[in-house]
Amino acid sequence: MPNIGTLLKVEISRLCKREIRKEVATVKKASASYRRDIAVLKRQVFTLERKATSLAKQAAVPTANGSPALLDRPVRFVAKGLRSLRTRLGLSASQLAVLIGVSEQSIYNWETKKATPRKEQLAAIISMRAIGKREVHKRLELAKASRGGTRRKTAK
C-alpha cells in the first residue's frame, strides 16, 4: 500500500503542472500574437521608408516645367540679377509681383537692396529663370483670369 503522503505529493504536482501549462499556454499565445504584430509593423516601416526615400529623390529632380527644385544648397540672391531677369522677360515690377505672388513694394525693395526674398519667393524667382517670354505671358494671363474671376464673384 502506497504511502498517503507520496500519493498527495504526486497528485499535487500533477495538478500544478496542469495549471502551469494552462497559464503558460495563454502567455505563449499572446507572445506569438505580439511577434506577428511586430513583424507586420516592421514591414510597414520598411515600405514607408522606401516610399519616403523615393519621394525625396523625386523632389530633388527638376520638375516637369524645367524649374529646378530648391535643394538645401545655398542660393545667392543678387538684386541686379532680379532686375536683369525682369527686363529680359519684358515685365514690369507689378507684373513680376503678380507672377511671384508678392507685392510691388517687395519687388522694389529687392531691386534696391533694401530687403531680400524669403526662401519661397527665392524658389519662385529661380523658377522664373528657366522660362521664356511666351510662358511668362501665358502665366500672366492665367493669373489675371483667376484674379478677375474672384473679383466678379465677390462683387455679386
What are the Cα distances from residue 83, in Å, to 27, 55, 96, 121, 132?
74, 35, 10, 15, 15
What global pTM score does this model have?
A: 0.48
Amino acid at 5: G
Q: Which three cell numbers stand for residue 122?
A: 527665392
CA distance 66 to 128: 10
- Is residue 112 packed enough to be buried (19+ CB in 10 Å), middle (13-18) or exposed (0-12)? exposed
Q: Could you report the per-residue pLDDT of 87-135, keeping only the tens digit for each?
A: 999 999 999 999 888 999 999 999 998 998 998 888 889 888 888 888 8
